[in-house]
A and B are shown apart, each in its own frame.
Chain A
Amino acid sequence: MKYYPTIGIECHVQLSTKTKLFSEVDNDARGKEPNSCVSPVCYALPGMLPRLNGEAIKFAIRAGKAMNCEINASSRFDRKHYFYPDSPKGYQITQFYHPIIGAGYVELPSGTKIRIEHAHLEGDAGKLTHFDNYSLVDLNRVDTPLIEIVSMPDIHSAKDAHDYCKELWRLMRFAKVTYGDLYNGNMRFDVNVSIAPEGSDKLGTRAEVKNLNSFRSVERAVEYEIARQTKILEAGEKVVQETRGWSDATGKTTGQRSKEEAKDYRYMPEPDIPPINLSRQFINDEAAKLPMMPSDYREKFNGKIPTDILEILLDYPELMEKLNGIDEKHITIISNLFTSVLLAEEKSAEYLNDLPDVKKLSDLAEMNEKKELSSTATKEVFLRLFDPQMKGRDTKAIAKELGLIQENDLGALEAIVDAVLAKPETKKAQDDFRNGEEKVIGFLVGQVMKESKGKANPSAVQQILRDKLK
């Protein structure tokens, strides 16, 4: 029997606000000592009052708009109780009943639309490191603002699961709400997978694979689950509803034998944080700050940048912003230069830390189009634009300094020869030469020399002329 997979994904996105969701303490713990970004609120000391970060509300509006979601004017916080050392409060402050972000959708590069059920704001938990007979707790991550994005079960293949996660990553980075560093857990994915006989209108029993932090592990975990569940059903057995863990090393999911008792989070309204009631104006003002999204760029550059190249470039929001400022007539050459660097250069991402300004890039494209630079020379000058030592100089100065301006280059000369041959006053001489009057070649060479302001190499010019007038 053939089975049809159905997949829903929950994604946690850490927001890159300056301070945490509920206290005025540093939210950016990257490279910092454990427990150095904490406040008495993170420690849940008795009597501490959480103070909501207004910026997180604005980030959530932008994130929601990036996913074409409704923003709910009224949202609230709730307590979700559980006991675990990663949460000194004994509960997580989340939005269980009234999330800030309502229904929407994410469109994959393939055109497939994945609906978003809702997304809500909540505080992250601390980080545990396990040792042989104890565990250590670092509270730096406590109350980092998260939005949890819950998709509808609209995904039906491992590839679409991969593409959906990647597109979310792009959307959140273009919307500037997260650093999007997957390695450091800025985005984490929980994937619900079930399979059912093809044509069946009932969903199968699902397994949830938790805490995946790369698109590749999402794809592999889904592939593994589909195969595992197919094998179980084909053996006439039943899939158990459970939480499973994924190992990149073994390429397998394994059941996490968590206690089978039903979860009992005892949700209740969070009394310390008054409800949020946003005006249309407030929501619209924030939504208007959303920069161009991947779909906008796909539309804008459709037919100008090949799709496969554009999809590479779309991993880099700052680069796309830069390309957006480049004149349309230069866009092909500039996007190709960036793509070749991204694909071929070592540490290519470092090239994107400090992008050359639009003028330098446009000058480069122009010099290439005027054949002042060969394509090899164009690439060389392009790489030098990133060189800190060349910082203050414009493109032409760099090209000159490198001796790459090709006035003796055959390509450049050919352009001048073509221009001269197109002039009506050279028409007669051309005809005469074709009729065997060898000496008129001197007149034509002279015209080309004049056109090149004396910079051309006469023998090269004569050779080109002879080839053209054959």
Chain B
Amino acid sequence: MEVNCETIKHLAKLSNFSLSDKETESLTGDLKNIINYISELDKLDTDGIEPTYQVFEMENVWRDDEIIKQDADREQLLALTKEEKDHQIKVPKVL
């Protein structure tokens, strides 16, 4: 897989990060190294092997459909946001 500055810019855009040129450049180098290292795995023949969803072989972990009082209430959660208005989270215009 080829990694270049465009890859990093694309990923940054998808994640809504703004990166300086310098950061873009250094991240490109980092990601190249990481991909290179992971690419070792390409040498393995994985035909017909299912993707790993669970490493501990757990399955069917679910709970009952009963409401439990939450540890954090509305005000506490809203207090974590940058800005609130009328009990809602205020964000820059998105449409």
Residues of A within 8 A of B (CB): 17-19, 23-26, 33-36, 38-40, 43, 45, 51-57, 76, 81-85, 90, 97, 128-139, 264, 266, 269-271, 273-278
Contacts and interface: CB of A to CB of B under 8 A. Distances in A.
A136 B65 contact: no
B93 to A, nearest CB: 5
B54 A274 contact: yes
Interface of B is mostly: loop
A83 B14 contact: yes
A267 to B, nearest CB: 10
Interface in B55-75: 56, 58-68, 70-72, 74
Given A85-B89, A85-B94, A90-B15, A276 B60 contact: yes
B34 interface: no
Nearest to A74: B59
Given A51-B62, A274-B58, A276-B59, A35 B92 contact: no
B74 to A, nearest CB: 5
Contacts of A130: 93-95
29 contacts: A24-B68, A24-B70, A33-B74, A33-B87, A35-B88, A36-B87, A40-B71, A40-B72, A51-B61, A54-B62, A54-B65, A76-B53, A83-B16, A129-B88, A130-B93, A131-B93, A134-B91, A135-B94, A136-B90, A136-B91, A137-B89, A137-B91, A269-B51, A270-B53, A271-B54, A275-B53, A276-B59, A277-B59, A278-B60
A18 B68 CA distance: 11
Interface residues of B, number: 38
Nearest to A58: B65
Contacts, number: 129
Residue with the greatest number of chain B CB neighbours at <10 A, chosen from A135, A264, A273: A135
B27 interface: no
Contact of A136 (B56, B64, B86): B86
Given A134-B92, A137-B91, A52 B62 contact: yes
B42 to A, nearest CB: 18
A275 B54 contact: yes
Contacts of A83: 14-16
